[in-house]
Amino acid sequence: MLNREKSLSNDIRRSEPTQLLRTLSLSISTVRSDTPAQQILEPQGDYQPNGASCPPLLNAGHYPWARRHYLDACASQWSPEQFDLEIDEQQWGDSKTLTTDERHLVTRTLGFLHACKTLLMDQHALGVYRHINQPECRQYLLRQAFEDGLHQHAAQNALGTFPADEQVLPAQDETALRRLQWLEQELRPVSEAEPGTGGIPQGQHLLRALIASYVLCHGMFLHLANLQVWSLGRRDKMNGVAGLLCRIEHDEKRQIAFGIDLIKQIGSENPDLWTPGFKSELLQLVHEGVALETRSIYENLPRGMLGLNAPMLEEYLQFIANRYCTRVGLPSLYPEASNPFPWVDALLISHETRAETAASARAGGCDLDWSH
C-alpha cells in the first residue's frame, strides 16, 4: 500500500520500477533520439526564435483557445498520491479475484503508459515546441510536458505497488515496443529538423507528427489500453488503478483537444500544406496506426474476458478512428464501424464532472460511477 504520510523520498524509494518497468526503460533507450534534451531546446545554426528563415507556421496573434486549454489544465492539477491502491493491492494477491490474464492486462497497460510518456516527453513536447513560435501554444506545450511526466510518475507508483508477473514481459516487449518504434519514426523528423528552414515539407512533417501523437497515440493507443482496465473496474476489480487511468484520460482528452485545435489552426493559416496527396498520406498514416493497434489487441487479448474481447476492441478502434478523422478534416476510413462500448463516454463525462468539482475544491480521490 502507498503510505502517503511518508516523505517524498521514501515514496520514490518504495516505488522503484519493477522488472517490467526496467525492461521497458532499457528497451526504450533504443527507440528514443540520441539528441540531448538541452540540445533540443537550444537554437541550432542560424535559427532565430521568430522563424526568420521561413515564414512561421502560426502568426503572432492571440489564440484564446490555446490560453483556455492552458488555464483548464492548471485548474485541474492533481497528484498520483491522491489515489488509494490498498484494495487493489489486496485484490492483486487474491487469485480468486483476479485471473492471470487480468493481472497481465494491468501490468501491460501501466508499462506501456510509462514507456509511451517517456517517448512523448522527449520527442513530442520538446520537438514540437521548437517549431511553434506562438507564445500561448508554447505555454500549453510546456504544461503538456509536465502532465506527461505526472502520468509517468503515476504509472511508476502503481507498478511499484503491484509485483509484476515476469511472464508478461516477452509479450509486453514485443507489442509495446512495436508501437513505440513506429511512433518514434513518425516524430523523429520534427525532433531533428531545424525550425524555420523547411517551408512546406517542414510544415507537413509537423502536421503528420501532430496527428501521429495526438490522434493515434493519445486518442487510440493509450485510450484503448485504459479502456481495458476500466472494463475491470466495471466489475469492481482494480478500482483504484481504473480511477487513476480515468484521471489521466481527463488530461489526455484536453491534450487531444489542444492538438486538434493546433492542427486546424496550422491548416487554416497554411492552406497550401493540405494538398490532396498529403491528405491521402495522412489517411494512410491513420490506417497504419489502426492496423498496428489491431495486431496488438489480438496479441494482448487472445482469450477475451467478461464484457471484453478483441473483435469488440477492433470495432471500437475503427469507430474512434472515424471520429478523429472527421475532427481534423479527413474522411472516415471505416464507415461500417459502430461503438460497442456506449458506457465509455458516459463514464468519462461523469468522471470529468467529478474531476472538475474536486479540482475546484482541492479535494483528493477519484470516485467512479461504474453503473452506466
Q: Where are the domains of the chain?
A: 65-361
Q: Is the pTM of this model over 0.85?
A: no
Options 1.25.40.10, 2.60.40.1580, 1.10.620.20, 3.40.50.2020; CATH for 65-361 is: 1.10.620.20
- Three-state DSSP at 308 gives strand
Euclidean distance between CA atoms 105 and 228, whole angstroms:
7
Euclidean distance between CA atoms 235 and 239, whole angstroms:
9
pLDDT reported for residue 125: 73
C-alpha angle 331-208-139 in degrees, rounded to nearest 5: 115
pLDDT reported for residue 58: 83
**What residues in the chain have per-residue pLDDT under 50?**
1-18, 20-23, 25-26, 28-52, 166-171, 362-372
Cβ atoms of 144 and 74 closer than 8 Å: no
- Between the two ends of the chain, the Cα-to-Cα distance in Å is 29
Provide the 8-state DSSP code for 331: -
For 291, counting Cβ atoms within 10 Å of its Cβ (0-12 exposed, 13-18 middle, 19+ buried), the class is: exposed
Other C-beta atoms lying within 10 Å of the C-beta of residue 284: 11
Cβ atoms of 117 and 43 closer than 8 Å: no
Euclidean distance between CA atoms 255 and 265, whole angstroms:
15
Which amino acid does the sequence have at 247?
A: R
pLDDT reported for residue 260: 97
DSSP labels, 167-184? GGHHHHHHHHHHHHHHHH
The C-alpha cell at 110 is: 501501466
Euclidean distance between CA atoms 202 and 250, whole angstroms:
31
Other C-beta atoms lying within 10 Å of the C-beta of residue 151: 25
Other C-beta atoms lying within 10 Å of the C-beta of residue 326: 11
pLDDT reported for residue 356: 56
Cβ atoms of 123 and 187 closer than 8 Å: yes
Euclidean distance between CA atoms 258 and 260, whole angstroms:
6
- Three-state DSSP at 303 gives coil
pLDDT reported for residue 196: 65
Cβ atoms of 338 and 315 closer than 8 Å: yes
Euclidean distance between CA atoms 6 and 357, whole angstroms:
27
HSE-CB for 182 with a 13 A CA cutoff: 21
- Please name the residue ranges forming H helices in 76-222: 86-92, 100-119, 126-131, 135-161, 169-192, 199-210
pLDDT reported for residue 59: 78
The C-alpha cell at 273 is: 500544406
Euclidean distance between CA atoms 238 and 242, whole angstroms:
6
Which residues lie across from 308 on neighbouring strands?
Answer: 305
- Residue in the block written with cell 467478461: 306
Distances 53 to 49, 67, 133, 318, 332 between C-alpha atoms, Å: 10, 27, 13, 41, 37
